Amino acid sequence: FDPSGTIVVAACDDSGIKVFSCAKGDDQMEEGEIGILKGHKEAVQCVYFDPQGKYLLSGGADSAFGFWQ
């Protein structure tokens, strides 16, 4: 989850990072997939939001790090 608790990301075996919205609406949750971040060549093993939620870091089985804004 990002620091606001409205975005969640999932590291995936297919080399992508799935991004989901968990924003609360007035009377229900507005949930759904926002998109997929692509850049790794192998499975993504970890994801981390910086404390301000401005950046996302990822690490993969391809020994690469991703820096997402």
Tens digit of each residue's pLDDT (9 = 90 or more) over 31-49: 788 999 999 999 999 999 9
| pTM for this prediction | 0.85
Calpha distance 32→22 (Å, rounded): 7
Q: Pairing mode, if any, of strands 16-24 and 56-60?
A: unpaired
Name the nearest CA neighbour of 50 among 10, 2, 12, 8.
2
Q: In the chain, which stretches have pLDDT less than 70? A: 24-30
